[in-house]
Structure 1
Amino acid sequence: MASHQIQRKPRILCLHGFRSSAEKLEKQVHRWPETVLEKLDFVFLDAPFPAQDQGFDPPYYEWFQTNEDFTEYTNFEECLAYIEDYMIYNGPFDGFLGFSQGAVLSAALPGMQRDGLALTKVSKIKFLILISGAKFGGSKFGHTKLSLTLTAFSSPLELPSLHIIGDLDPVKLESIELMEGFVDPFVIYHPEGHTIPKLDEKSLEVMFSFIERIQETIP
């Protein structure tokens, strides 16, 4: 009689937004129904740098810093090293979930990894979940002089990607532009703004189709 091996859950490293925290992101993601959460293994990571704006009570963190017109960046290479070290000692991970600044960062990682510029000591990123994201080199970050990301979107990214985009989100257009950098993306539109939404019936259908797709990437 044939034995049936239990399918392991896709393991996902989750990157929070600018001046936020792993704890806050975890609370937001857990607005999703248990029928979704039970199929995925989420790990939430605090960014390496305490929020520089003292108006944010600790503990809040940021992945890197930039000036107002996104032409100068600091701590970006340190951020990449921090994520890779975490993945080495706490992995393996199959994919990333990112929100806001965490989504901008997550979206660029597969291209940087492909080009040998980041995450060279860990396994290939298999999929992404991007919420309120934007593209380095796109309309919002179009003036970036960040050399590590210059070729991240030089060719369409073929890994499965789920893009969650809010109708009232200030970065809605940037999120759509980002989505167009991926081959056959999954997309969920929701009526809210810059947030992680609850999932309605239609959104759940897309989410379950995406989960089914990424399960095919897991050995």
Structure 2
Amino acid sequence: MAAIRTVLVLHGYSQNASIFSKRLGALRRECGNSVDLVFIDGPHILQPADLPGSTTPSPDDNLASLGAAEAANAGADPTLTPRAWWKFNPDKTFAYGLRESIEAIRDVLKSRRFDGVLGFSQGAAFAAMISALLEKPHLYPPFLVEGQPPHPPLKFCIAVSGFRLRDPFCDPLFAGQYSTPTLHVIGKNDIIVVEERSRTLVEASSNKRVEEHQGGHFVPSKRQWLKFLRGYMLDPSAELLSPSTSGSSAPNSGTATPTESRDGAAATLKL
């Protein structure tokens, strides 16, 4: 039986498609044959200086380090190679590699049809950008294919621990907000992308639903959350009960543990 929904999935900074697919194993099992989750790699391979523990300062003081623990073994296993959708140039004035990632997504979108997109952290910021760009494709002509958008606007976007990227490219993109139905998932105890930072992306979307969990920087994977996420992907307009509870969520999906710097503070990350 063919899946009735196809969803593009965008990993976080220093993860990759393989790592994130494994971390969303519970969600993949919950979706079964009803939702096809298509994981793709960010085009930029990260170097040691780009990973947590680097002395390179972050372009955003509100973001601590995340990084994937698996990256330490990337030399022995290429499937653990840390990747990103963008990095920052030395003077932090723009997101280096962002346009290359947009063009890579264009090539994915023109090859098949997707109902929606799900992104985590940097991937969530990028998912919202792609959703907005499909509404206003002529803002970036290289995104077009023979003068036409590569794909129709998406039916939904799910942004987990997302944020609005501080890059001039985003200003016209989010001017007047974007209208793709967007589920914003915010961790109340997220110290990587703090709630205030996630709210900047919420403010950029006009058709939104916000759900909070009491955990940190991960995709919540308690049973009620898995059912809710599957339900939303099947029908974003459905009147789904909130999965939020007063208890904390175990960080067993999309986990990103901050590392410690030499002075004991959380290291910073170039998101």
Q: With the length of structure 1 as denominator, give the TM-score of the two structures.
A: 0.79
Confirm or deny: 8 A CA contact 1:10 1:215 kept in the other structure.
no
Aligned residue for 2:185, secondary structure, equals strand
Which residue of 2 is the match for residue 124 of structure 1?
A: 153
1:26 Cα deviation after fit? 0.9
CA distance in 1, matches of 2:185, 2:117: 14
Which residue of 1 is the match for residue 8 of structure 2?
A: 13
CA distance in 2, matches of 1:158, 1:21: 28
Matches within 5 A, 1:156-175: 156-170=177-191, 171=193, 172-175=195-198
Q: Which runs of 5+ in 1 are unaligned?
A: 1-5
CA distance in 2, matches of 1:68, 1:31: 39
Aligned residue for 1:164, secondary structure, equals strand
1:40 to 35, 43, 59: 35
Which residue of 2 is the match for residue 3 of structure 1?
A: none
Q: With the length of structure 2 as denominator, give the TM-score of the two structures.
A: 0.65
Higher RCO structure (Cα 8 Å, ≥6 apart): 2
Which residue of 1 is the match for residue 131 of structure 2?
A: 110
Q: 1:7 to 1:176 in 2, by over 3 A?
A: farther
1:164 Cα deviation after fit? 1.4
Q: 1:191 to 1:53 in 2, by over 3 A?
A: same
Confirm or deny: 8 A CA contact 1:109 1:152 kept in the other structure.
no
Aligned length: 201
1:174 Cα deviation after fit? 1.6
Q: 1:159 to 1:72 in 2, by over 3 A?
A: closer
Question: CA-atom RMSD, angstroms?
Answer: 2.7
Identical positions, percent: 26
1:197 Cα deviation after fit? 1.6
2:119 to 98, 105, 109: 98
Confirm or deny: 8 A CA contact 2:11 2:120 kept in the other structure.
yes
Q: 1:177 to 1:44 in 2, by over 3 A?
A: same
Q: 1:209 to 1:42 in 2, by over 3 A?
A: closer
Q: 1:177 to 1:75 in 2, by over 3 A?
A: closer
2:78 pairs with 1:83: no
2:204 pairs with 1:181: yes
Question: Deviation digits for residues 136-170 of structure 1, max 9, x if unmatched?
Answer: 3xxxx2xx3x33x2212112322221111111112
Confirm or deny: 8 A CA contact 1:186 1:206 kept in the other structure.
no
Runs ≥4 residues deviating over 4 A = 67-70
